[in-house]
Amino acid sequence: MPRPEQQTATILLSEKNPFDLSMLNKEGKRSLAIVETDRFGEGATKETQDLMRSMMSAHLLGPVMPEKIETNFDFHFSEILNSLYDYYGKKKPRIVKLSGQVKPAIRDETVERKQFDQATSHSGGLDSVYRIVKLLEQREVPLAVHLKNLNAKGNFREALASEEQCRAWEVPYLSVKLRNGSGSTGFETMRTRDLLLALTVAIESAPNKVKTVLIEGGMGNSKDFHFSENADVWKWFNQLLKETGLDVEVVGVDPGDIETIGEIIDLEKKLGISILPMVQNCFSAPFQVDNNRRKWERETPIIAEKSSSHWCGSCHKCRRMTLGRIYYADPRFKGVSKKEIEYFVQDTYHWMKLYPNNADLLSQSFLSHLAAIG
């Protein structure tokens, strides 16, 4: 009986950019690259730079997990793929070297810049904003690192918001541009996304001798969590970072949900700065925002007037923001009538029935706070 043909993917490293990978398989071509910077990798060891290529490969391979992988570069840290495959019940892949190997350039390992105790991944959304302002409350200034194009949509607005926030709060800001043609979207991307994000932040801030990298928390140990959301995986990954000579620990900060908005309202008063209006909070595409806002301008004019123009008001994140601001008495909502609040609550319950697929996004915190004001 003939042996079944193995699923194969070919990963090719660019000769010009040591962090530019393309993948070919039966579904076509995918790519992933750090672009527009000659600095990325500086201050990190050769082993850490090798780890980055392996992590980028894992992000490309995660959605398909082929049995055989061909590469034109020396693939280090195969344990990443072995662990990823094992987590999803797959046999570890076979890695084969192609002829015509590319030897990637190694960026200068000795570069040093101004030191920071902590760096934080910064998307410009509520949770990453929370991490920064909590540190500011403690009189600590972190280094904020934004990975542009990590997500499938909203990238321009996220980049703009994250930089504006850091400028307003006098927080040092770095941006890493990712050319993301991985095709990995939705929950599937969480197989490797947070590991890729954390490693990017760690490498970009390596010249700054950062000891702690903060990312979004909420990790767990059940199989309901993807590979890059698993608490045990993070313990293993932090040890792997140490083994490459990167003296840093990645820590997940879990801010909660609706309660976070209440905390930030208190922090605005304590720090004397505007925070909530600057949050990039919307799931809607930019061209949809105006259409969605017209409904709120008509039915809840004060809520709409006191909500930033870049929020649609209708998506999960915008409803989360409005709910928290009502419950925790945002001073900007002082003139909002009971009638407007009642409309918002009734409309949100209607929205939940109309779009049952959103149920996965609604936390117990969201539901209990909605019930409390309803």
Question: Are residues 358 and 301 both part of a single domain?
Answer: yes
Question: Are residues 131 and 88 both part of a single domain?
Answer: no
The Cα–Cα gap between 29 and 156 comes to: 24
**What per-residue confidence (pLDDT) applies to 153?**
67
Residue 203 lies in a domain: yes
Find the mean pLDDT for residues 44-57: 98
Across the chain, mean pLDDT equals 93
Residue 268 lies in a domain: no
Predicted confidence band of residue 374 (pLDDT cuts 50, 70, 90):
confident
The Cα–Cα gap between 129 and 274 comes to: 12
Is residue 115 pLDDT above 70, yes or no? yes
Question: Are residues 126 and 237 both part of a single domain?
Answer: yes
Helix (H, G, I), strand (E, B) or coil at 340: helix
Residue 103 lies in a domain: no
Q: Which two tokens stand for residue 207?
A: 């010249």
Q: Which two tokens stand for residue 245?
A: 């000579």
For 73, the domain range is: 8-97
Residue 205 lies in a domain: yes
pLDDT digits (tens, 9 = 90+) for 327-366: 999 999 999 999 999 999 999 999 999 999 888 889 999 9
Question: Are residues 136 and 242 both part of a single domain?
Answer: yes
Among 364, 372, 296, 361, residue whose Cα is nearest residue 327:
372
Count of structural domains, the chain: 3
**What per-residue confidence (pLDDT) applies to 329?**
97
Residue that is last in its domain, among 31, 63, 97? 97
**Is-contact 119 249, C-beta < 8 A?**
no
Residue 366 lies in a domain: yes
Question: Are residues 138 and 185 both part of a single domain?
Answer: yes
pLDDT digits (tens, 9 = 90+) for 121-139: 999 999 999 999 999 999 9
Window from 67-81, 103-117, 154-168 with minimum mean pLDDT: 154-168
Residue at token pair 């920064």: 132
Question: Are residues 183 and 231 both part of a single domain?
Answer: yes
**What per-residue confidence (pLDDT) applies to 167?**
97
Question: Are residues 122 and 207 both part of a single domain?
Answer: yes
Predicted confidence band of residue 307 (pLDDT cuts 50, 70, 90):
very high
**Is-contact 222 258, C-beta < 8 A?**
no
What is the value of pTM for the model shown? 0.92
Question: Are residues 247 and 166 both part of a single domain?
Answer: yes
Question: Are residues 123 and 239 both part of a single domain?
Answer: yes
Calculate Rg over the CA atoms of the chain: 22
Question: Are residues 217 and 296 both part of a single domain?
Answer: no
Question: Are residues 227 and 309 both part of a single domain?
Answer: no
Residue 107 lies in a domain: no
**What per-residue confidence (pLDDT) applies to 154?**
62
39: Cα within 13 Å, side-chain hemisphere? 14
**Is-contact 308 277, C-beta < 8 A?**
yes
